[in-house]
Amino acid sequence: MTTLKDRFKQGKDARKKCPRSAQASLGKTNRDPIPLIKASSEGRVKSLVELRYGRMLVSPFTFYRGNALLQAHDLAGTPNMGLVSPICGDCHLMNFGGFATPERNLLFSVNDFDEAHPGPWEWDLKRLVASFLVAARDLRHGSSVEETVCHEVVRAYQQTLLECAEQSTMETWYESITYDDLREQARKSTLEHVERAIEKAERRTHAELLPKISERDAHGRLIIRDDLPEIFHLHKNTTLLDADDDWLRLSDWQPLYDTFMRDYRATLQGDRRELLSRFQVQDMAFKVVGVGSVGTRCLVALLTDDQGSPLFLQFKEARRSVLANYVKTKSRVRHDGQRVVDGQRLMQSASDLFLGWTTGPSGRHFYVRQLRDMKVSAELETFDAETFAAYGTVCGRALARAHAKASGKSAQISGYIGKGDALADALFKYAQGYTEQNERDFERFQLACRKGRLRARSEADFAADHLP
């Protein structure tokens, strides 16, 4: 049996093949970003691709968030220590946040797994560190804050991996970051942000959401309210689906919902299937989410129990991971919805009560979870420099916990990183170089939109098209 000391040594020995200084390499950046951006839009709802590009045009930061495929391509040309395990695949700083466990505890962790796939752990850490530097420039925090936050992210990852390496397997599996922990550890300047997040999460319930996005129709039935381009029904004149879309051949939303539910129920535990059976569906509509996900299919179903209390379920399309073409190790499952769910269950210490997967009409893959339920994200524009660095620390901790739990290789990763700043220094250089690369790519993207190679439209453009 290998000892803890042996596993640390395995990681340290990997430096011979991949020195930590080599992690500063930017990879395959000698390419035109436009064909890769176009490739990432294939198979999406065509009219919503224009909205995706409109959101990506807002800033270099939204551009970075909106196209994980581009960085996956570039990272494939970077060296790594040779350890492949389940990773997030799209690990930027806005894909972390708070969410409720089935026991109604509020945890902080990685919370987006659309691109989850086996890959080098360094890819997640590099995307995260670079995202902090891109955001720091967008928020005009200054060069000293850029360097501080990048080092804070890596050091938190480094220290937490070492803690995990010294824990038992079960301790690592159960360990979580709660908002009570964050409250206790917060400095005075960051405490108000933690308190506000907790208060916001406690308000973000299905009951609170109901009057915001639903109404009674002329027959008194509860329906979801159209709010273009964010929410629309598939078979009304407000639809943003393409005219030749195969879903438009369905009579209404009910056959779509029935197809989803047929496979989905079997992916839930028995007690959760019983709980779901106590709700009846009232309506379903298309919901546009995020930046990178815009144009992929996402639907929200409104269900109610016998007392009229709501449950909102989100059916989100699961496409092939952006990492799939760039790593030799393949996902063990062929269903992309299951790939997302397996990744989430592996990397989070607890997951959504209704998390599952299904197949829709035309064979598209989906995963299912609750909409909104106590979910909160960072409000970056309200963060001062100290709070921004503190957020970097907690993201680094959360990613380390996720990697330790999913891989079972925390000692090897920790042994590779060591106790000094060698990796932090290398990744700060990487983040600086990649931030500059991102700005060049953003300029080429802007030019492509101006010259008509790509067509971008804003929310206001879509809303104006459907004014009464």
399/316 same-domain check: no
User: For position 160, what pLDDT does the model report?
Assistant: 98
User: For position 281, what pLDDT does the model report?
Assistant: 97
**In the numeric block, which tokens belong to residue 214?**
């639903």
CA-closest candidate to residue 374, choices 403, 393, 390, 350? 350
108/27 same-domain check: yes
Q: How crowded is the C-beta side of 403, counted as CA atoms within 13 Å?
A: 31
Provide the domain count of the chain. Answer: 2
Please check whether residue 209 is in contact with residue 371, taking contact to mean a CB–CB distance below 8 angstroms.
yes
User: For position 241, what pLDDT does the model report?
Assistant: 92
- Is residue 260's pLDDT more than 90? yes
Of all residues in the chain, the percent with pLDDT exceeding 90 is 83
User: For position 455, what pLDDT does the model report?
Assistant: 95
176/279 same-domain check: no
pLDDT tens digits, one per residue of 20-58: 999 999 999 999 999 999 999 999 999 999 999 999 999
**In the numeric block, which tokens belong to residue 83?**
């350890």
pLDDT tens digits, one per residue of 427-437: 999 999 999 99
198/242 same-domain check: no
Q: What is the mean pLDDT of the chain?
A: 94
Of all residues in the chain, the percent with pLDDT exceeding 70 is 99
Give the three-class secondary structure for 356: strand
Q: Residue for token digits 């997640």?
A: 124
- Is residue 421's pLDDT more than 70? yes
Look at residues 370, 394, 419 and tell me which one is the last residue of a structural domain.
Answer: 370
What is the rounded CA–CA span in Å between residue 281 and residue 279? 7
Look at residues 330, 346, 370 and tell me which one is the last residue of a structural domain.
Answer: 370
Query: b/e for 332-345, b at 16 or more Cβ within 10 A?
Result: eeebbbbbbbbbbb
153/35 same-domain check: yes
pLDDT tens digits, one per residue of 125-143: 999 999 999 999 999 999 9
CA-closest candidate to residue 237, choices 397, 50, 60, 466? 466
Report which DSSP code applies to 24. G
247/339 same-domain check: yes
- Is residue 72's pLDDT more than 90? yes
Query: b/e for 206-220, b at 16 or more Cβ within 10 A?
Result: beebbeebbeeeeee
364/388 same-domain check: no
User: For position 466, what pLDDT does the model report?
Assistant: 64
332/408 same-domain check: no
The helix/strand count (H/E) of the chain reads as 18, 13
- Is residue 409's pLDDT more than 80? yes
- Is residue 464's pLDDT more than 80? no
Please check whether residue 423 is in contact with residue 180, taking contact to mean a CB–CB distance below 8 angstroms.
no
pLDDT tens digits, one per residue of 186-241: 887 788 889 988 898 888 999 899 899 999 988 888 999 999 899 999 988 889 99
- Is residue 467's pLDDT more than 80? no
Please check whether residue 369 is in contact with residue 354, taking contact to mean a CB–CB distance below 8 angstroms.
yes
- Is residue 13's pLDDT more than 90? yes
Look at residues 370, 386, 403 and tell me which one is the last residue of a structural domain.
Answer: 370
Across 148-155, average pLDDT: 97
- Would you report the helix, strand and coil content of the chain in percent, each value rounded to 5? 55, 15, 35
191/124 same-domain check: yes
Across 172-192, average pLDDT: 89
More confident residue, 316 or 1: 316
What is the rounded CA–CA span in Å between residue 67 and residue 115? 11
* Cα 408 from chain centroid (whole Å): 22
Which of these ranges, 64-68, 248-252, 423-427, has the smallest mean pLDDT? 248-252
Write the burial class of residue 446 (CB in 10 Å: 0-12 exposed, 13-18 middle, 19+ buried): middle
28/141 same-domain check: yes
Domain that holds residue 10: 4-203+376-465
Q: How many CB atoms lie within 10 A of CB 76?
A: 16
Across 47-75, average pLDDT: 96
- Is residue 359's pLDDT more than 90? yes
Which of these ranges, 8-12, 279-283, 317-321, 326-330, has the smallest mean pLDDT? 326-330
User: For position 58, what pLDDT does the model report?
Assistant: 96
107: confidence class by pLDDT, cuts 50, 70, 90: very high
- Is residue 149's pLDDT more than 90? yes
Across 163-189, average pLDDT: 92
Give the three-class secondary structure for 410: helix
Across 151-170, average pLDDT: 97
211/181 same-domain check: no
Q: What is the 3-state secondary structure (H, E, C) of 157-205?
A: HHHHHHHHHCCCHHHHHHCCEEHHHHHHHCCHHHHHHHHHHHHHHHHCC
40/165 same-domain check: yes
What is the bridge-based pairing of β-strands 280-287 and 310-317? Answer: unpaired
Tell me whether the omega of the peptide bond preceding residue 118 falls within 30 degrees of 0, making it cis. Answer: no
